[in-house]
Structures are given as structure tokens and as C-alpha cells.
Structure 1
């Protein structure tokens, strides 16, 4: 009898220990996140007031709201990245009225299948436009209208390769890329505007090479710089007329809710204007970052597929 109880006790102990190990292992698996969401919402307010100020100046108040999201899916050899960037801002100056200071709609998605370490065969698409109309003379609504929602609007669809050694570096090369230019505002549908071939046209199809690059670097604690760049060459018409774009964001984080941003954007597009375009902004305001946890690619204990 004693032997039987001893055997039962020993067996029960092994079973319980195995169950605990199994539960622990399942917990570790459950904590591996295939989906990761990194988002930043911001509200920046600028204000200036003058009274009997001999140096001159106009009372003004400005605001800028923004949303920047990076939604990523990582599992085995699959990588799917989605970027949402929305910005809109205005400034109201006494004697001048309301002027637009920032206006961006940017969506992009890219799916890659890993073929070797850090390299993926990829397909992707992107949409770029703005929310409201833009005007000459500093966005003066009384001046000539030069842009509007989806005028221009750009849709890119293509396939190629992506190099992504980590979350801070991403280079995508698409030797096969279709680029549609949309001009959906009838007031702007004239020959030559954004490359349109004839009056009344509302779109233009281009086909060529698209290259994009993303690089983020930490300069020091709470100071980060994000660089983006793109280049497009149209095989069908004047491939030497490259469409070039570069963007820089310098983020200085004060605390969890307050940060300062400096942005610089450079662009050259022969079909828009035969000059280099420059936009620069500086703002301090409220910002909240949403982060659902450590990505799978950041987890050293979950990079099991690399060992294969």
C-alpha cells in the first residue's frame, strides 16, 4: 500500500510539474506580438499678441493637428507594414485672415516575403494628397487656386525588393511601378497642369521606377531624427525628369505629453513647378504616443525563424 501511494505521489508530482511548464511555455508564446501599433497624436498651438509695439507685428493664433501611425504585422517570413500620416494646420493673422500652414494625407502599405536575412520580395501601394484647396500668395483664398483634394492626388502601385535590417532602416526598390496622377478639381483640369495632356483630363498614368528610403536615428536621449526620401523615373515620358522628395523630422521630447518638432520638406517635380519646393515648420505642443508593446522583431527570444 505504501509503495502504491509513493508511486501515485511521484506520478502526480511529475504531472503537475509538466503542467506548470506547459502553462509557462504557453504564456511565453502568447506574449509574442505579431501585430504592433505605434501611433502619435499631436496638437500644436501658436499664438502672438501685440499692443503699442513699435517693432510692429500682427496678432495671430495658429494650430496644427496630426496623426502618425505605423501598423506592422510580423510572423515567420511575412512582413506587412502600414503607414498613416495625417496633418492639417491653419494660422489666423489680424488683417490677413486664415491661411493654411500644413495639409498632408499620406497612406502606404507594403507586404514582403523574406527571401534572405533582411531582404524581402515585396508589393505595395501608396496614396498621397491633401484635405483642402491651396492658393497662390501664401494660401490667400482670394488668390488663384493651385491645388485641392486629390488635385493633385497620387496613387502608386508596384513590386520589387525591400531591405529592412531593423525597425529604423527600410529601403524599397520597385523597378515596376504604376503611378497615377489625379486632378479631380475641374477648375484645374487644363493641359499642362500636373502633366495633364489635354483640357478636361482628370488623370495621367505613368509607369517607371520608384525608390523609397526611411532612416531613423537617435541623436541623444529624447532627441530623434527621422529621414525619408523617394525618387521616381517615368519610363514612358522623359525618364531623366526625376521626381525627388526628401523629408526630415527632428523630434525633441520634453516629457510624455509635450514635445517639439522641426520639419523640413524638399521636393522637385517637373510637372508641378520647374523649381525646388521647400517647406519648413517649427512647433511645440501636446503629443501622445500609443505603443502596444515590443515588436516581435525586437524580441531576441522570439527570433526563432532566423536560426533556421
Structure 2
């Protein structure tokens, strides 16, 4: 009997110890520092006419794009990387093929937290396009006005980042270098994109850069992402602000199909002394990758929510 009780006591002790080990392992495994949020899209549009009194031209188009956000969060470190690429074409009978979308945008920003939601940060970004653009609705027979890295914009600077949650990020860089590249020799003319002389391939500016991203969930499966930026050159006409605003309205139909409406507004005195506007609408295949749990998603870090 004594031996039996001794064996039961040992078994109970082992069981309790195993439960403690299991509990500790669960706590450790819930911490993830890398998160990946990505969206891949492929959209098509088509129209056909036959003896249609209202008129119209047969056309077919496509648009492909990726939008990825890779974020590392650990202790006081925050490192966010954004990759946005998109390209699209439309072929209309009697007109030919025209480019409808062309964007290349890569950025990285590292911050070290010094207060709640505030980070000392530094970062860089690259903006350009993939292929040539022309006047007269991207007509290849018209005058060429842009190309890959013509212009291309590279920013690098130091400042502060405010990020209370995943829906709002504001970065202010009072120290920022902005390089404009024009690598197409046909476009290296004085005045093009601010170039000072014929044959110049780049222009360096030094000033203030501000960026903001604000995401809003309007309703279930309907999300709006707003982006805005402003740049002022300290050394030459600081009043000539480079202003940009973009909005992406995403309407998710199901897991694999969604619709996007985009609006982009830009004013850059060195490009053209007019406000530029671009709008697109598309519906098609979309696949979203969401892998990882951001630190700011965890309840024990959401200090701004009343518990």
C-alpha cells in the first residue's frame, strides 16, 4: 500500500510539472516579431460591340500589381518596409496598346522608440515607373515625356515617426535629401524635372519631407487607405511645395475577388506647373497574405484602448 501511494505521489508531481512546462511554452510561442501583409492582384476589363448604334470600340485590358508591408517589431525597435508595384495596359481597336498603370514604389523606415507611439527614425524611398510614357494619352508615336528612372526619386532622411497603431503612421523628416534622376538621355534637357543644364542626369535637393498613411475600415470588407506627402526644398524656392495624395478604396467580394478604386493627385512644379490627376477602377483576382502578429495587435500593447 505504501509503495502504491508513493507511485501515485510521483505520478502527480510529474503531471503537474508537465503542465507548468506546457503553459510556459505557450506564452513564449505567442510572441512574433516579423509580420507580412501582402496583396497580389490581377484584373481584366473587356468590351465588344457589333452594329451598336451608340458607338464604341472593342477593347481589352489588364492590370497586375503587388502591395506588401513587411514589419519587424521587437522591444523598442520598429522597422517597416513597403513594396508597391503595378503595371497595366489597354488595347483598343483602331487605337492600339496604351499604358494605363505604371508604378514602382519601395520604402524602408527604421525607428527607435523614445516615448509612447513616438520613434526617432531614419529611412529611404525610391519612386519611379517601369516603361516610357508619352503625350497624347501614352501614344508611342507622340513625344516621349518619361521613362524608367526618368524621372526617378530617391529620398533619404532623419526625423521622427508617430505610430499609435497599425492604422496611422506619420513621419516627419526635417533633414532629408531628395535626388531626382533622369537616366534617359532623350529627356536630359535643361528644365526637365528641374535639371539645370542639358546633359545633366540628376538633381539634388535638401529640405523637409512629411509622409502620412491613414487606414479606415468603412464597413465590413470595405477599406480605404489614404497616403499623403509634402516636400519643401530649403535651398531653392521653399514655397514651391511638392504635394501628393493617394486614396485606394478596396471592396472585397470574397477571398479571391475584389474591386479597387484609386485616385492620385500630384503637384510638382519641376514636372509640370499644373495639378496632375489619375483615377483607376478595376475588378478581378486578388489574394491577400497575412502572416504573423504585429506587436501593436497584441492586447497587452494596445495602451490606447480602455480595458
Matches within 5 A, 1:276-295: 276-295=275-294
Q: 1:20 deviation in Å? A: 2.4
Q: Do structure 1's residue 270 and structure 2's residue 269 form an aligned pair?
A: yes
3-state secondary structure, aligned to 2:25: helix
- Structure 1 equivalent of residue 225 of structure 2: 226
3-state secondary structure, aligned to 1:55: coil
- Structure 2 equivalent of residue 38 of structure 1: 37
Q: 1:26 deviation in Å? A: 1.6
**C-alpha contact 1:84 1:107 (8 A) present in aligned 2:** yes
CA distance in 2, matches of 1:113, 1:293: 21
CA distance in 1, matches of 2:152, 2:93: 32
CA distance in 1, matches of 2:235, 2:16: 68
CA distance in 1, matches of 2:293, 2:160: 26
CA distance in 1, matches of 2:119, 2:6: 55
**C-alpha contact 1:233 1:243 (8 A) present in aligned 2:** yes
CA distance in 2, matches of 1:18, 1:84: 47
For these two proteins, the number of residue pairs brought into alignment is 303
Q: 1:19 deviation in Å? A: 3.1
Deviations 1:176-232 (A, max 9, x none): 000100000000001110000111110010110000000000111111110000000
Q: 1:6 deviation in Å? A: 4.6
- Structure 2 equivalent of residue 69 of structure 1: 68
**C-alpha contact 1:60 1:94 (8 A) present in aligned 2:** yes
3-state secondary structure, aligned to 1:279: strand
CA RMSD of aligned residues (A): 1.6
**C-alpha contact 1:32 1:302 (8 A) present in aligned 2:** no
Q: 1:8 deviation in Å? A: 6.5
Matches within 5 A, 1:158-307: 158-301=157-300
- Structure 2 equivalent of residue 53 of structure 1: 52
3-state secondary structure, aligned to 1:194: helix
**C-alpha contact 1:227 1:246 (8 A) present in aligned 2:** yes
- Structure 2 equivalent of residue 110 of structure 1: 109
CA distance in 2, matches of 1:162, 1:302: 18
3-state secondary structure, aligned to 1:180: strand
The TM-score, its normalising length taken from structure 1, stands at: 0.95
CA distance in 2, matches of 1:33, 1:168: 19
Deviations 1:43-63 (A, max 9, x none): 110000011111111100000
- Structure 2 equivalent of residue 150 of structure 1: 149
CA distance in 1, matches of 2:165, 2:145: 40
The farther-off stretch of 223-232 and 284-293 is 284-293
The TM-score, its normalising length taken from structure 2, stands at: 0.95
3-state secondary structure, aligned to 1:209: strand
* Contiguous gaps of at least 5 residues in structure 2: none
* Contiguous gaps of at least 5 residues in structure 1: none
Q: 1:296 deviation in Å? A: 2.5
